[in-house]
Structure 1
């Protein structure tokens, strides 16, 4: 299906025209009911609460280069729902812990602003109740020096502010949740460092596991990991883990494990029953000189990780302390540009800078978990030399369907890829050049509507 989206050049107002045709591909949904109770009880009913439908597909928030305006689209058909102006150009877009808000990270300006995607659910005791409204900019915002690493866990979201070496401004970590954003509530915990650092962090309940940099080091990268306990508006340091992690860069969390990437290996911390024990998985001997894991990804239902170096992608299995190379290779003159677990953890989705998306399926063999290539999808047949300056292919994954959404700046498209079939399900045609994209909506696993 091709939906042609007409956005005005300013993106302040938009008009939509669509050219629809038949589609041979069907998205594979994660099982989620769709219902919303109207305030007046009107609308069609499918149970004793008087509910109407809330779409499971969610919404997409799209940025354009050097613009302070975000476009909010329907992930179902590409309909332009609204254009939201924020203070400055966001270098990064991330979703909060329950995917209701987008965190628009303006690193250069030292600000994180939040846009409500307009689709969420609340716990009503006997059921989880979905809601849908127009997207909007909210009042809640964060300010600090160089917000860079951003995480969203099970119950909260975290922003690491690097600070600045040249201006002697110190790093900070702010831990908040969607309730803080909704109510513009500043009552959340902050960790204040005594130095700058390009850090990384993960939250576990009321604890924060975060990096520590030696103030005498000439590097901006930390080399140790600390355990911090939240107390109201601040964190107290409980301990420093007795393990070296030189040139630490990158972290991730799985169901009960937290991992940090070091120059010489990966530190894995077991959080079960707040034990906070650790082990270090050293780099394999076949690593080239200077090769290291620099990016990590985890999934809340799997105690394993995906990590990447500059040239390869690896499956990291702490249960047997293994680092196994995944049979993936970037296109000629390309590099890895995105790596994610799918919503239910059944797939690992990789994309290189040439716009080739590789979908891997997981399976267990001889008590070991392996990833096998299922699909390779090329986003565009266009000459990559036509890529606009300061742009590249970017990707986000739906958390309610087995779908990846990929931007194509050359053709001004957003493409929906069915992860099960490896085929294009939709093409959303834009009148602007997309930069970054993030999915918002109700995650399938959490969207159970039982009475």
Structure 2
């Protein structure tokens, strides 16, 4: 097996990046908490560091995989080292914020710490390695929707259980210390919805739209109008929530929630139901029915509908300088488009069964990773080189569910 090329920084640049925080302030994502909670100063988590973690010079990328029985492992993408983490209950879904895996099971949500993360400090990043661990279970009933914030060692993570209608806000600092700490748990009375972190609390779906709740679970301010909310994602600019007529963009300024609407174009028909994009970028993508895909630029507050030749099952915006968008179409091909105009710059042969409906898709700044559960591998896609399959990786466990960690 050929290792992914190392991204080595010149020594002077590495030292400069690691020392810049002490002398120059920089902008953090607007959804991240501010003051002591935001950067961890005074709490042992400065710049994303935690006790026992090693700071490294580049992203410690890996693939976290779980098989159908719950056996869990990490494959290091730089060294090919396989790390066994033990077993969870049998999973039915997997979400991730780039460090933690959140596996839905019949018992609730199992939290898996990969021990790999990146800390976004605005104009540069810090990268960390620590011992991975299975942290335990957030009890709950039914399918779980997990929505992450901007940072893994600060802020919060939201979980919504469709079976019970319960919404739970988890403290990320406690997770980084190996503990599951529920800041609040409320019964929404709904069988669909989500809890999406922003600022010092979270937006929670309710019968009338969205309610902002603080870290104690108390409702704050007037409800936020959003008809039929579906899909939430944290971007570089703020939290995006999909609505029937567009999106709500929620940001946190001067310890207060600010929201604004981004309406669909007048001739829009198929709405966005889920969003996906490279972590920490302003532009996200969503499947637009059978037509193609939407791009939502949260910095410009604009929607763009990009028609495609075939309907898509998954789409992720890379949001790099070239504007790559990686998708899976109904024929099981991995297709790379350009955001500007939607031109296809590469596509694989059909490699995924069932149109890729059971495949996972995640992107970083160089590669996309697409799981092929039927084939028992994960395809590493060089999306800047015509959708070339750079490697087909055998993960330590069968890849029923896979995500990339260390991002």
1:328 aligns with 2:308: yes
Q: Do 2:60 and 2:128's aligned partners in 1 also have CA atoms closer than 8 Å?
A: no
In the other structure, the counterpart of 2:326 is 349
Query: Matches of 2:186 and 2:262 in 1, distance apart?
Result: 30
Question: 2:160 & 2:379 partners in 1: Cα distance?
Answer: 33
Give the paired residue count. 358
Partner of 1:421: 385
Q: 1:405 aligns with which of 335, 358, 369?
A: 369
Decide whether aligned partners of structure 1 residues 404 and 302 sit closer, same or farther in structure 2, where only a CA change above 3 A counts.
closer
Q: Decide which structure has the larger Cα Rg and report it.
A: 1
Q: TM-score, normalised by structure 1?
A: 0.67
Pair 183,257 (structure 1): closer, same or farther in 2 beyond 3 Å: closer
Q: CA shift at 1:342, angstroms?
A: 5.9
Change (3 A) 1:63 1:329: farther
Distance in 1, matches of 2:391 and 2:300, equals 41
* Maintained 8 Å contact 2:272/2:288: yes
Distance in 1 between residues matched to 2:321 and 2:401, nearest whole Å: 23
When residues 271 and 306 of structure 1 are mapped into structure 2, their CA distance, relative to the original with a 3 A threshold, is: farther
1:229 deviates by 1.7
The 2-side partners of 1:144 and 1:304 are apart by 32
CA distance in 2, matches of 1:293, 1:157: 25
Alpha carbons 1:191, 1:235 under 8 Å: kept: yes
Confirm whether residue 395 of structure 1 aligns to residue 376 of structure 2.
Answer: no
Where structure 2 has 5 or more consecutive residues not aligned to the other structure, the ranges are 16-53
Deviation at 1:159, TM superposition (A): 3.3
| TM-aligned CA deviation for residue 192 of structure 1 | 0.8
The correspondence of residues 176-187 of structure 1 with structure 2, limited to 5 A, is 176-177=171-172, 179-187=173-181
Q: How does 1:22-421 map to 2 (within 5 A)?
A: 29=7, 56-64=59-67, 66-76=68-78, 78-82=80-84, 84-86=86-88, 88-96=89-97, 99-106=98-105, 109-120=106-117, 130-133=128-131, 135-138=132-135, 140-154=136-150, 155-164=154-163, 169-177=164-172, 179-213=173-207, 223-230=208-215, 234-241=216-223, 243=225, 245-274=226-255, 276-288=257-269, 291-297=270-276, 302-311=281-290, 312-317=292-297, 322-330=302-310, 335-341=312-318, 347-361=324-338, 370=340, 372-373=342-343, 375-378=345-348, 380-381=349-350, 387=353, 392-398=358-364, 401-421=365-385
TM-score, normalised on structure 2? Answer: 0.73
Q: CA RMSD in A?
A: 3.8
Question: Comparing both structures, which one devotes a greater share of its residues to helix?
Answer: 2
Displacement after TM superposition at 1:388 (Å): 8.0
Q: Distance in 2 between matches of 1:186 and 1:235?
A: 17
**Structure 1 segments unaligned to the other structure (5+ residues):** 4-19, 36-50, 214-222, 363-369, 444-451
Are the aligned partners of 1:394 and 1:435 in contact in 2 as well (CA < 8 Å)?
no
Seen in structure 2, the aligned counterparts of structure 1 residues 242 and 358 have a Cα distance that, compared at 3 Å, is same
- Which structure has more RCO (C-alpha within 8 Å, separation ≥ 6)? 1
Provide the C-alpha distance between the structure 2 equivalents of 1:53 and 1:318, rounded to a whole number of angstroms: 31
Q: CA deviation at 1:390?
A: 10
Contact 2:72 2:397 (C-alpha < 8 Å) held by counterparts:
no
